Structure 1
Amino acid sequence: MTVGEKIKFIRNFRGITQKELGVGIGFDEKGADNRIAQYETNYRVPKKNTLLQIAKVLDVNPLNLISEVSGSAEDIMQTFFWLDEDNPAAINLFQLVRNPGKCNASDDTAVCYNDSDDWPAHPPVGLWFKYGIVDDFMREWLVRKNELKAGEITREEYLEWKLNWPETCNKNITPHKQQK
């Protein structure tokens, strides 16, 4: 979702009109609804200070509208949360549980794993996507990580794949310097 789509979604969820939001952040009543409409349609992009004011009026964490650190845990979670709003069936969570032997868990939200030094002390939560293209992307990422771990590609080739993704999907990975 774009920032404008998020503003509209949250505003509607809160039951606030465009005019009320615009006036709430300090716009003149006469053009307040027009300015918010421009933001919501992505005709205009609000500045950071305006986004902070919008977040305050909408009573939401500003992280919903502003990413301070791209790729941070908070940024990743917000991306997942908005994907979940946009497509509620896309992300599925499940609890991993230790497998002391054979596992016949009847709970469909539990998946067993063989305990080893590679796993954290507390059972992690897993996720899978029921979202075609994301499934494909995640599958390819797993292939690339496994190739790196097996020594089939170098760290530089792995980084090159990530830096030029998605153009590098399902292609041979050649370091950037050698592509010239």
Structure 2
Amino acid sequence: MRLRSPYRHCGNTQTRSIPKGLLALQFVLAHFTTGEKIGVSESTIRHYETNFRTPKQPQVEAIAEALDISPLALKDFRVENARDLLGLLLQLEDEFGIVPAENESGLSIDVSAEKAPKTTQMLKAWAAKRNELESGRITPEEYADWKAKF
């Protein structure tokens, strides 16, 4: 399984106010601490992130637990362009009921699909959290933390 770096957000506009040296130090300390918590070296963690080595599922779960995030936050779904995204959505159509919306520019849920009720519930939770972010009730960092733990 390819891993996505849990630190991938470190270069975005949310962190530009942090001096680069401090950000690099935090990055190194996070690697060291994570490796220490799960009994592997910092270089092993870096090898996982660069796909030089591939962790087994128990190791992925240990990393996620050490970082206090969901193991899915580490999974790289390999969606790199719109075609990849459409392929993924087509795979999800039958089971989760994700279909094109009538206005042709969005998605909706086909309630007859097996997992549509749970999908709808999760989308409502996501919409509520996005609303909190957009209204300023939570910070971008709090929103990123929520997404990582979901």
Report the structure, 1 or 2, having the larger strand content: 1
Superposition TM-score, scaled by structure 1 size? 0.34
Larger Rg: 1
* Greater RCO (Cα-Cα under 8 Å, separation 6 or more): 2
Report the structure, 1 or 2, having the larger helix content: 2
Superposition TM-score, scaled by structure 2 size? 0.40
